[in-house]
Structure 1
């Protein structure tokens, strides 16, 4: 529909309104904006009330965040609280928004949580997780599988 002759906002607006809820991921918001060719996207609560607006420039700011800033926030907000005094031994490398976590952790149950929380840091595009647990001791842990790599000799 050609809207050049519109006199009121109602005549010019997109209807029904293209919106997202506050819990929508940034990636989803970006897809909705691209699909509907809108530059601004209202964010509405489950009751339909306007909570705010996301713009294209808002999305770009997140994805253009400096790698060093992302690494610092991931360390401060995720790695240090989760791993405490052992956090200093863990490496966090960020390149073009892709975070690589590596090092030895004492509690491997926290590894999936660490990856999930780092993924939620603004500007993170992906997470590569190379965190490992302590070496298995067959004499002390007989019920656990032996994950040591062995090489066969011929």
Structure 2
């Protein structure tokens, strides 16, 4: 099997706005506005990523702009108070930056974003040099794949692999990313395996199996298998 999953380099944005350590607060805000992004990588030297500044890093300056925090707030939010007084990217950034490699799968990138609760990840090469950036919206692009493109990959990568000739024909139907496998199988234990492999195909929203006609063994009362 050689199709999905796609990797980060397939969907990432290659042209990336970035900051140096000395970038001022106002420069950071302006760059975010100009590029319509919520976070920017901070680089040094030839492009090595050393941190990232997000909108969340900037907000404490507005939150604490016109009030003095009480003692409890000071103890509880030391990091935010430090950022409220920060004026450069070096003072504001989260370091080291959470990054991802270009050859990481989209599932790995999505898992990292979800666990860290971030909206985008700098993409770095083996030397830590900035290669691009990947966002949540980039990862969702796979769900825009054409239904027939998905169906062809399922036929090639799943059906022909699990149900080769002379097995009974399995039809693949796809509607808005939802895949239905239609037909009969001799070994029903392969159905959950097929479901797992189909779900791994990029762009698949759901998968179902629709038995068609009596089973190979002649049991016409074959129940519709449930997919995990």
Larger radius of gyration: 2
Pair 1:124–1:107, CA change in 2 (3 A)? same
SS at match of 1:148: coil
Pair 1:5–1:29, CA change in 2 (3 A)? same
1:148 corresponds to? 221
2:33 corresponds to? none
How far, CA to CA, are the matches of 1:105 and 1:76 in structure 2?
17
How far, CA to CA, are the matches of 2:93 and 2:168 in structure 1?
53
How far, CA to CA, are the matches of 1:87 and 1:147 in structure 2?
18
> Could you tell me how far 1:88 is from its partner in structure 2?
6.8
Q: What does residue range 64-79 of structure 1 map to in structure 2 within 5 Å? A: 64-79=144-159
How far, CA to CA, are the matches of 2:167 and 2:142 in structure 1?
26
Q: Which runs of 5+ in 2 are unaligned?
A: 1-56, 59-82, 223-228
Whether 1:5 aligns to 2:78 is no
How far, CA to CA, are the matches of 1:16 and 1:131 in structure 2?
52
Pair 1:23–1:70, CA change in 2 (3 A)? closer
> Could you tell me how far 1:86 is from its partner in structure 2?
4.7
Structure 1 residue ranges, 4+ long, deviating more than 6 angstroms after superposition: none
What is the TM-score of this pair, normalised by structure 2?
0.45
CA RMSD across the alignment: 3.8
1:28 corresponds to? 111
What is the TM-score of this pair, normalised by structure 1?
0.62
Q: How many correspondences in the alignment?
A: 133
CA contact (8 A) 1:106 1:134 kept: yes
- Of 112, 117, 120 in structure 2, the residue corresponding to residue 39 of structure 1 is 120
How far, CA to CA, are the matches of 1:29 and 1:69 in structure 2?
28
